[in-house]
Amino acid sequence: MPSDRRLTRRNVIKIATAGGAVTLSGCLGGNGGGNGNGGGNGNGGGNGNGGGNGNGGGNGNGGGASGPSGTLGDWSLDVNAPDPVLDRINGEDWVPPEYDDGEVASEIERMNLGGMENDPATGWYEDLFQEKTGITSTPVTVPSSDAVSQMRTLLSSQSESPALMQISQEFFMDFLTEGWLEPVDELWPEEAYETFPPYFQSAMTTDVDRSLDGDHTYMSTAISEAHGLNYNPTVLEELGFPADFYDGATWADVREVCEEATSASGDYHGWVWYGSGNRYPIYPWLRQMWSRGGSVVQDDGSVKFNTDAGVATLEWQSQMIADGLLPDVMQYGEGGPADLFLGGNLAGFGGGLGIMALALEEWGEDTDQYDAALLPRGENGEHVSYMNTDFLAINRFAPPAKKRAGMIYMDGGRSAIASAQEYDQEGNYPSNTAAWDHELLADANFKETAREIGETARVELWPNQIETFDVLVTHLQEAWLGQLSAQEALDSAQSDIDEIMGQ
């Protein structure tokens, strides 16, 4: 059986146009592509003994029929054998799909963001994967802060290794537009999506890959984070509210708690959000904007931030600050609200559920100072959460046998047991909702609320997403500081974003 490496803790897309660890620097340099055995020449295809010929598919001496997975060549993979796909991946144990061992590499390298000492669940799955398949997965470790630039260097040079990449969803579309990732349509028959968040199908099946025709899917899951409402029932009671007042709350309810906290004796706060940093300030605005029925990606494919829902959300935020109902949000970056919450005087905040383990460690499993709920409802009565996933994807330029091995790894990585281990060992949100029914999570805290949070998760993706986020953060902060009105701030942001998107 796999070794126990546990540590205590650690929609429709609308587009406008991996033995021991090694360092990524060991994979840089050399051709990585070119003409020759297993190489590639062109937009994700190849011209040689093991590639294809053309844009991501084609015919070659080791290739196969052209099409979505042409660079994999013809090979036998049956995701519905020995059992139907959902039975295979969602049972108490993962059962690999049927494939020909002779067509698959015996080892692959897989990019891992950060050292494996921080990823016990990933280590557990690597052991399971080797036990079940005989394939060795070697983690190629790279600091998270360097990952995107390193991956761009590798893939733009058509390096063959690592075969498996770990890519944040907010960069994913940029990698797809370059034709750098291999389609994995065989992994995802229609029924396979049934136990995953809706956006896995609606947002991640796309025609944005310029090297291929039609819609394709390219991913499996590495880790996920879901945002819910973390709240302190004791603080709510001390402020005169029912202990569960934030369960099913509206944004008007949040303001009411903030007003009471401001007037009460003691250093209480009703709410806070991420106000500093280069990405996290986006999330509170996005979540509330969605709860008002808004969208960033419009029906015509354009990316718009200065919509009515966007402006109304920023007006609400700015007014809360102007009325003195919040602590200085500009002080609080990625971990700031969690630190304030653990101080015991914050009624609640919207953010990742990873705070749960810290709160239970701080106050005990039977504490009255922590509970979780869905994020506040908007005017249309809708609770909307946010989910951020690091996806596993295959390097288009890896040798076909390694890409095939990577697909088998991706199949098990999305299994209920792997998702359950991520939550149990590391507090990462289970991307496969069948994990909540796994015996490993039978006694998990707040499991029903956590399941609901995943079911209300919304994600929108577009090319150049991080670049547009960088622009938006600056203008959100201008409004929070009172330098611009909400309308002025978002109009100014939109002008910059139109230029970035060429719209």
Query: Is 190 in the same domain as 233?
Result: no
């002008």: which residue's tokens? 495
C-alpha distances out from residue 453 to 37, 250, 336, Å:
48, 16, 22
Closest CA to 144 of 81, 223, 199: 223
Residue 10 belongs to a domain: no
Question: Strand, helix or coil at 27?
Answer: helix
Residue 360 belongs to a domain: yes
Can you read off the two tokens belonging to residue 195?
């136990």
Calculate ∠ Cα 274-227-123, nearest 5°. 110
End-to-end CA separation in angstroms for the chain = 54
Query: Is 41 in the same domain as 27?
Result: yes
Backbone angles phi, psi at 441, to 5 degrees: -105, 20
Domain count, the chain: 2
Among candidate residues 443, 458, 473, the one where a domain is terminated: 458
Query: Is 157 in the same domain as 31?
Result: yes
Residue 75 belongs to a domain: yes
Residue 9 belongs to a domain: no
How far apart are the C-alpha atoms of 3 and 120, rounded to whole Å?
A: 10
Residue 14 belongs to a domain: no
Residue 300 belongs to a domain: yes
Can you read off the two tokens belonging to residue 152?
């761009």
Can you read off the two tokens belonging to residue 342?
């653990």
How far apart are the C-alpha atoms of 350 and 228, rounded to whole Å?
A: 6
> Can you give the pLDDT of all 503 residues of the chain as single tens digits?
454 333 322 222 333 333 333 333 333 333 333 333 333 333 333 333 333 333 333 333 333 333 334 567 677 899 999 999 999 999 999 999 999 999 999 999 999 988 888 889 999 999 999 999 999 999 998 888 888 899 999 999 999 999 999 999 999 999 999 999 999 999 999 999 999 988 899 888 998 888 888 999 999 999 999 999 999 999 999 999 999 999 999 999 999 999 999 998 779 999 999 999 888 999 999 999 999 999 999 999 899 999 999 999 999 999 999 999 999 999 998 889 999 999 999 999 999 888 988 999 999 999 999 999 999 999 877 899 999 999 999 999 999 999 999 999 999 999 999 999 999 988 899 999 999 999 999 999 899 999 898 888 889 999 899 999 999 999 999 999 999 999 999 999 999 999 999 99
Query: Is 180 in the same domain as 62?
Result: yes
Q: Where are any strands of DSSP class E within 233-364?
A: 348-352
pTM: 0.80
Query: Is 47 in the same domain as 143?
Result: yes
Query: Is 454 in the same domain as 415?
Result: yes
Query: Is 217 in the same domain as 249?
Result: no
Query: Quick check: bond before 82 cis, omega within 30?
Result: yes
Query: Is 121 in the same domain as 201?
Result: yes
Closest CA to 318 of 146, 479, 86: 479
Query: Is 466 in the same domain as 365?
Result: yes
How far apart are the C-alpha atoms of 307 and 296, rounded to whole Å?
A: 8
Kindly give, in sequence order, each residue whose CB lies less than 8 Å from that of residue 278, ignoring residues fewer than 6 positions away.
469, 470, 473
Query: Is 131 in the same domain as 200?
Result: yes
Q: What is the pLDDT of residue 37?
A: 35
C-alpha distances out from residue 274 to 43, 315, 479, Å:
40, 16, 14
Q: What is the pLDDT of residue 138?
A: 95
Q: What is the pLDDT of residue 71?
A: 63
Q: Which domain holds residue 467?
A: 227-386+460-501
Q: What is the pLDDT of residue 455?
A: 84
What one-letter code names the amino acid at 494? Answer: Q
Residue 8 belongs to a domain: no
Query: Is 298 in the same domain as 334?
Result: yes
Query: Is 192 in the same domain as 318?
Result: no
Q: What is the pLDDT of residue 61?
A: 30
Alpha-carbon torsion (262, 263, 267, 268), positive or negative: negative
Residue 280 belongs to a domain: yes
Taking a C-beta distance cutoff of 8 angstroms, is the pair 370, 359 a contact? yes
Provide the CATH number for the domain around residue 358: 3.40.190.10
Taking a C-beta distance cutoff of 8 angstroms, is the pair 460, 203 a contact? yes
